[in-house]
Structure 1
């Protein structure tokens, strides 16, 4: 009940209602978030009709949010829905202070860096997600977040201290359940986060993964990071330039450069920024679920970078 109350009181901002934004919107509205504000200055295009479900042929050329808003509201009339058809970049920094959480979709790396600087200044949780055809990513910056989990006590009690680079158990409380006749542990884990710009420039797996884990790491991770090296978007991506940027990311991450596969380079160069509805459903579902978890202050959140590999269908979570 407490988690539901926090959800009903939450004010969330979502930037862009593309295929990914539509999936996140659907899931948040159906979950009962209290207030959802959408900002997007785009018009409905024919490509939108192939990748999302809030828009129809008759609305091509009209404002995307104006066309979609009635259908979004119909899913849950209790959600306070606000739309803004201005470009989010035209808003002053103070605009973001009214929200409890910000979600950005379909952003360039320069835009992510700018938004992340604002959310950190105002101590706001940030989720950023994007699609690259058969692959997609999620970046999370909650700055610092204490998550509470409960589990059955095992023969080895949970110990205080570091769990990983960005996660530390700060409190463990035992309690006995009379009905089940079992002892449980309530565990508080403090998650700290790295800002996007630092992840992009300094993120590495050196000293974090075993040699076997490094060899099994999907090419989708360094290639996703390499696409962020096009600061104004992915309109000029070619296999040759992408390969060069990917090899630099292999070095930064501490990965053997001979593991770069041309099939991945070609796929990412061809599909950079493309929206596929099934991939949007997977990435959008993961974002929305984590947003619901942190608004309810239940379960440990994602920390801090997620990549979906559309070739192997693996979805990896990394601390960078």
Structure 2
């Protein structure tokens, strides 16, 4: 039976180009996937746009915050006139816009705080994407995903000014890649294989690989001295500011340049505890991130949202290539992080 028969004629016509790229099976899996996104900042809505246009089965949004001027600057799903509006939440407004983008995708809104939801709530989702929340809440959400009977992928995405990062936890992940083979052997095998056995040849040319991901809690507790020497300075700067916000009881992005002396003191304490050179956490970068607060740079939001949309699709639905991350190996586990920035000092 042709796999396309499980897609409606309308779906096949609408998604024809991407079906040609990643195949019918991947599109069918995508059309059955249920994704939850909590925190609708600029990076998160870019991701939402991408998966809705790609034809995800359903998308659930969580963000009870009201619209502000700052939100409109980075969130293109909010019509400008809504800043004076009726009291609708960010999730409600984004839901309406995303539904217009692709009426074939079921987009819904869930009220409340994701960190306070019971563990059973997560069972209806294949992947959870969080943004605009504290590190402690991210850890708690990730742990709830890991404790469920089925594997629930966890993604964290965020942007400060023109800098941003993505964290991925796929728990136990299996994928396929091509076997290393000499050119001569590959040519001989291809010549000897008849067209009727082409699928068998492709299957035999692939090997199954396995990765075990650490939780967010494990990842951020990894000693800095054990990280690669070429690790981006943005990673360390983000951790320092997260620690400062947590110790001061601040919400995410509630910072200003006036916090610099306290943050430099925090940097010194962390680096001493880590036996790490403070020069790897530049003062100029900390100044820039503090001054930005919770403001985002739309072009970087688009980059991060595009990366996450592509990666989530490859991770959950295609599974034929290795995850394209910055790999940090530790005790047979791999920490997956993207850090994106422009003109880092």
Task: Give 1:252 deviation, angstroms.
Answer: 6.5
**Superimposed CA distance per residue, residues 171-204 of structure 1 (whole angstroms, 9 cap, x where no aligned partner):** xxxx74656x9x8631322111111112222243
Give the SS at the match of 2:156. strand
Relative distance call for 1:258 and 1:19 in structure 2 (3 A) is: closer
Listed as ranges, the gaps of 5+ residues in structure 1 are 158-174, 314-320
Relative distance call for 1:29 and 1:205 in structure 2 (3 A) is: farther
Give the SS at the match of 2:40. coil
**2:221 is the counterpart of 1:201:** yes
Query: How far apart, in 1, do the equivalents of 2:303 and 2:40 lie?
Result: 16
**2:274 is the counterpart of 1:242:** no
Query: How far apart, in 1, do the equivalents of 2:109 and 2:64 lie?
Result: 10
Task: Give 1:100 deviation, angstroms.
Answer: 1.0
Aligned equivalent of 1:262: 283
Q: Could you state the TM-score of these two structures normalised by the residue count of structure 2?
A: 0.75
Q: 1:203-218 alignment to 2 at 5 Å?
A: 203-206=223-226, 209=228, 214=229, 216-218=230-232
- Count residues in correspondence: 289
**2:156 is the counterpart of 1:128:** yes
Query: How far apart, in 1, do the equivalents of 2:169 and 2:28 lie?
Result: 23
Aligned equivalent of 1:59: 82
Deviation larger for 254-263 or 44-53: 254-263
Query: How far apart, in 2, do the equivalents of 1:112 and 1:100 lie?
Result: 17
Relative distance call for 1:218 and 1:251 in structure 2 (3 A) is: farther
Task: Give 1:91 deviation, angstroms.
Answer: 2.4
Task: Give yes or no for contact 2:300–2:341 (8 Å, CA) kept in 1.
Answer: no
Aligned equivalent of 1:162: none
Aligned equivalent of 2:178: 150
Query: How far apart, in 1, do the equivalents of 2:88 and 2:132 lie?
Result: 20
Listed as ranges, the gaps of 5+ residues in structure 2 are 1-23, 326-334
**2:155 is the counterpart of 1:117:** no
Give the SS at the match of 1:228. helix
Task: Give 1:67 deviation, angstroms.
Answer: 1.9
Deviation larger for 292-301 or 127-136: 292-301
Rg larger for: 2
**2:310 is the counterpart of 1:282:** no
Give the SS at the match of 1:145. strand
Aligned equivalent of 1:160: none
Root mean square deviation of aligned Cα: 2.8
Q: Could you state the TM-score of these two structures normalised by the residue count of structure 1?
A: 0.81
Relative distance call for 1:253 and 1:310 in structure 2 (3 A) is: farther
Task: Give yes or no for contact 1:106–1:131 (8 Å, CA) kept in 2.
Answer: no
Q: 1:1-320 alignment to 2 at 5 Å?
A: 1-60=24-83, 61-122=87-148, 123-150=151-178, 153-154=181-182, 176=190, 185-206=205-226, 209=228, 214=229, 216-229=230-243, 230-231=245-246, 232=249, 233=251, 234-236=253-255, 238-250=259-271, 255-298=276-319, 299-301=321-323, 302=325, 303-312=335-344
Task: Give yes or no for contact 1:39–1:88 (8 Å, CA) kept in 2.
Answer: yes
